[in-house]
């Protein structure tokens, strides 16, 4: 019985191949014409990509975001981790459908980027903010017990996660970096590091 089925399948395939059915037809792949949008009530709704309402809503969000970022960053100088050289954000612009920062180096050279150089920055030179001892550790990306949270941020950057515990002695925090590196703070001071 099985042999007969196999023979029938082979005969059918040979017949189809002889009439050209097995050849690959010219297929035009169409891009999706719909996308999902989360509605104010939380449900997902399919919306046509070329929907004028969707385009107008996206443009309005982009304009609002651009205004906020311009107010916060434009014409201001920042010191970004890890090098902490001053960079001035001279403009915030829209290129295509992305917001980009126009950043100027102290040499006068400018470049654009769609993200800030780092998530950790200062509005004035951190060398003038921190003690010489703290700065020596920050330059080497090291930490020491007694360091403040700002100093640890300057040295290691933002943690992936922060776990907070409220105790009788105050607020304790565990900063998580990667899978097995932790900083422990009590009332804003580094009390332990685990690697």
Q: Mind listing the pLDDT tens digit for each residue in 95-112?
A: 877 888 999 999 999 998
Mean pLDDT score across all residues of the chain:
80
Section 13-26 average pLDDT: 46
Give the containing element (helix H, strand E) for 59. Answer: helix 52-73
Nearest CA among 161, 151, 142, 154 for reference residue 80: 154
Predicted TM-score (pTM) above 0.75: no
Does residue 143 contact residue 152 with C-beta atoms inside 8 Å?
yes
Eight-state DSSP code of residue 119:
S
pLDDT for 20: 47
For 130-194, give the CATH class: alpha beta
Nearest CA among 126, 121, 114, 118 for reference residue 62: 114
164, two tokens: 């907070």
Per-residue pLDDT band at 167 (split at 50, 70, 90): confident
Q: How far apart are CA 83 and CA 40, in angstroms?
A: 42
Give the containing element (helix H, strand E) for 177. Answer: strand 170-177
Q: How far apart are CA 174 and CA 4, in angstroms?
A: 69
Per-residue pLDDT band at 48 (split at 50, 70, 90): low
Q: In which residue are the tokens 């690959």 written?
A: 24
Residue 6: strand, helix, or coil:
helix
Q: Write down the domain spans for the chain.
A: 47-122, 130-194
Section 53-65 average pLDDT: 81
pLDDT for 47: 57
CB under 8 Å, gap of 24 or more: what pairs does 7-16 form?
A: none
Strands 34-38 and 44-48: antiparallel
pLDDT for 26: 46
pLDDT of 85 > 60? The answer is: yes
Give the containing element (helix H, strand E) for 156. Answer: helix 149-156
What is the SS3 string spanning 12-35? HHHHHHHCCCCCCCCCCCCCCCEE
**Greatest Cα pair distance in the chain:** 88
């Amino acid at each position: 019985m099985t042999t007969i089925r196999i023979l029938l399948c082979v005969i059918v395939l040979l017949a189809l191949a002889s009439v050209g059915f097995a050849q690959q037809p010219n297929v035009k792949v169409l891009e999706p014409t719909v996308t999902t949008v989360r509605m104010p009530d939380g449900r997902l709704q399919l919306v046509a990509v070329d929907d004028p309402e969707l385009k107008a809503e996206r443009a309005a969000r982009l304009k609002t975001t651009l205004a906020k970022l311009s107010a916060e960053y434009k014409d201001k100088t920042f010191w970004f981790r890890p090098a902490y050289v001053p960079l001035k954000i001279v403009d915030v612009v829209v290129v295509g459908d992305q917001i980009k920062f126009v950043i100027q180096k102290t040499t006068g050279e400018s470049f654009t980027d769609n993200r800030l150089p780092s998530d950790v920055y200062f509005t004035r030179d951190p060398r003038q903010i921190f003690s010489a001892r703290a700065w020596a550790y920050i330059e080497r990306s090291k930490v020491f017990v007694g360091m403040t949270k700002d100093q640890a941020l300057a040295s290691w950057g933002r943690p992936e996660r922060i776990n907070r515990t409220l105790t009788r002695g105050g607020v304790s925090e565990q900063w998580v970096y990667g899978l097995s590196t932790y900083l422990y703070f009590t009332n804003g001071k580094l009390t332990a590091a685990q690697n």
